[in-house]
Structure 1
Amino acid sequence: MSPTTPTPSPGNRPGPDDARSTAAVVLDTVHKRYGERHAVDGVSLTVPRGEFFGLLGPNGAGKTTLVEIMEGQRKADSGTVTVLGASPWPRNPSLLPRLGVQTQTSAFFVRLTAREHLRIMAALYRTDHAAAERALESVGLTEQGDTRVDDLSGGQRQRLAIASALVHEPELIFLDEPTAALDPQARRALWQVLRDLKGEGRTIIYTTHHLDEAEALCDRVAIMVEGCVVALDSPAHLIAAAAPTTRLVVPDDRLTAAQARAIEGVDNVTEEPGALVLETLESGKVLAAIDALAGLRGVQTRTADLEDVYLALTGAAEAAEAAGADGAARP
């Protein structure tokens, strides 16, 4: 059983022809099937120009197939796809210079230096050498510009892949797990690069398994499961709608579990090593009660985040799929 995509708000619906020409991407009831498997199952969404749009989901959810359809690398079985006002399929040469694409398996001229590689990429797009320098600087590789590509570390190659996608200053940028091989400091530095690109009016479509990253960077996210979009909104709205519970973490030498359960407004109490976790929809009232009983020193507040929403949605969809399969198997 496939999960059902919620009815999108009017702002998420593909619009008429004039909207197709002004949006960066418009998908209308897009399907893609491999044998009996629905890789993309009726996806409809609109990405306005200048938006930082995240595409999330577990492995096998259909994200890569959907992105490849948008990039013009794969043909949809049905539905319509409009990218920067044009159809990406059949392969559209006039559209390619307006797109920047970074994949997890990017190809390089490995015997060239990073700078030479980017200069060739710039030349292919008929862009000057200065663009290569700007791209190197934007991803923090200026000092490695004269290092051969095959001597770069994995994280440095990842940054070079991103620079290759940016060197011709595209309008629409597709990034597939761009920070996967980066250390925490480099990852945060790249966040600023991406924010700067958005500030320049670029549109970014971005897949990641780092949900904290999606929450920090994306204007909106779509969560996919089994080829369907099961949620589509801003991270803040998804969190507020799906996970209103607050968790209060109290050192276990301050309250007993029985005292915690007796507090009005506490819905659940669980024990962790060295602490009690109180779940509540009325955090102000419960904090006041804890303060009166034991004081607030050492008490921590955990609010929901995008990861909580993601796990709830993907877990529910997978459970429904398993239940459907189990039911079908019974006589």
Structure 2
Amino acid sequence: MQELRKSIVFFENVELRYDNLPVLKDISLKIEQGEHCVILGANGSGKSTLIKLINCELYPSYKDELFKREILGNERWVVTELRKHLGVVTNDLHTRFSLDGSYLSGFETVLSGFNGTIGLFDHLENTTDQMNAAEGAMERLGIHHLHDKRVDQMSTGELRKCIVARALVHPVKAILLDEPTVGLDIKAQLDFIEMMRSLAKSGTTVILVTHHIEEVFEEIQKAVLIKDGIIYASGNKDEVLNSINLSEIFNTSLEIQKQRGRYSIRPK
């Protein structure tokens, strides 16, 4: 019998409060397997909190009305088990490797994804299959030349790709990328966007969280706009990503242009 495909993300009427103050309100969101999606919003709009709800760092606040939050069909996950199905790449993780994992090689950085650690430890032995999978993840991203290069000798873009490969050591169904091109120069940004496109084409669902519309690549089908803790608009990217909507969520008059499948933005 063929396995039923579960939604990557299914939120219905979800709310999250800090000290009884709502941060996310009435969030309803569905991202299907294979439906590449961008979540776009200004700084402070609630993107980071939404990411934490998706990757199970946070759980919804209780409310009297019915609500539901499922990731890959489950309401609750052990985070280490979820990482086998949902890869997560954040700037916080990048910073931790820069500061605490500077002595690691590219291969050791990728291999550490199996145990969710910054570095390798004697009591956490890696199997031959795991080492082969780490090699395969590096090959998949075309970064095998970073195998023996130390983190403290890498460019920002090189380390970012190693961290993506780290998230791909498991056969994940989706990868969540939080502001992935921050700190990258123009060439590294373009290279990284091409890498995201390659992941999307290979069957890994890409969820891109950003405030840069220029990062929205051709394979993305769905756009979700977030403002002041609510989902302002959600749907097909060509319908959602327009000048009126973008001007509203960024609180300034903007004009959106699209050329050869890619978006750009300028003041109106």
Give the counterpart of 1:310 among 238, 246, 249: 246
What do residues 99-125 of structure 1 show as CA deviations (whole Å, max 9, x unaligned)?
111110113332121112223334769
Once residues 93 and 112 of structure 1 are traced to their aligned partners in structure 2, the CA distance between those partners, rounded to angstroms, is 22
Which runs of no fewer than 5 residues in structure 1 stay unpaired?
Answer: 1-19, 244-307, 317-331
Contact 1:195 1:217 in 2 (8 A): yes
The residue aligned with 2:258 is none
Contact 1:70 1:88 in 2 (8 A): no
Whichever structure has more helix as a proportion of its residues is 1
Structure with greater contact order relative to length (CA < 8 Å, sep ≥ 6)? 2
Once residues 83 and 130 of structure 2 are traced to their aligned partners in structure 1, the CA distance between those partners, rounded to angstroms, is 18
Give the counterpart of 2:85 among 98, 111, 114: 98
The residue aligned with 2:162 is 160
Superposition pairs for residues 121-140 of structure 1, below 5 Å? 121-122=113-114, 127-140=129-142
The residue aligned with 1:42 is 26
| Cα gap change, 1:229 to 1:26, in 2 (>3 Å) | same
Give the counterpart of 2:42 among 58, 69, 76: 58
Q: Does 1:115 align with 2:115?
A: no
The residue aligned with 1:85 is 73
Report the CA distance between 1:215 and its aligned residue: 5.4
Report the CA distance between 1:82 and its aligned residue: 0.6
Structure number, greater radius of gyration: 1
The residue aligned with 2:185 is 183
Report the CA distance between 1:203 and its aligned residue: 1.8
Q: Give the TM-score normalised by structure 2.
A: 0.76
Q: Does 1:221 align with 2:223?
A: yes
Once residues 136 and 185 of structure 2 are traced to their aligned partners in structure 1, the CA distance between those partners, rounded to angstroms, is 22
Give the counterpart of 2:13 among 6, 23, 29: 29
What do residues 6-26 of structure 1 show as CA deviations (whole Å, max 9, x unaligned)?
xxxxxxxxxxxxxx9621110
- Secondary structure at the aligned position of 1:157 is classed as helix
Once residues 202 and 121 of structure 1 are traced to their aligned partners in structure 2, the CA distance between those partners, rounded to angstroms, is 17
Report the CA distance between 1:192 and its aligned residue: 2.7
RMSD: 2.6
Report the CA distance between 1:58 and its aligned residue: 1.0
Once residues 134 and 42 of structure 2 are traced to their aligned partners in structure 1, the CA distance between those partners, rounded to angstroms, is 35
The residue aligned with 1:194 is 196
Report the CA distance between 1:168 and its aligned residue: 1.8
Which runs of no fewer than 5 residues in structure 2 stay unpaired?
Answer: 117-125, 253-268
What do residues 247-301 of structure 1 show as CA deviations (whole Å, max 9, x unaligned)?
xxxxxxxxxxxxxxxxxxxxxxxxxxxxxxxxxxxxxxxxxxxxxxxxxxxxxxx
| Cα gap change, 1:168 to 1:75, in 2 (>3 Å) | same
Report the CA distance between 1:133 and its aligned residue: 2.3
Contact 2:7 2:73 in 1 (8 A): yes
Sequence identity (%): 28
Report the CA distance between 1:224 and its aligned residue: 0.6
Contact 1:138 1:193 in 2 (8 A): no
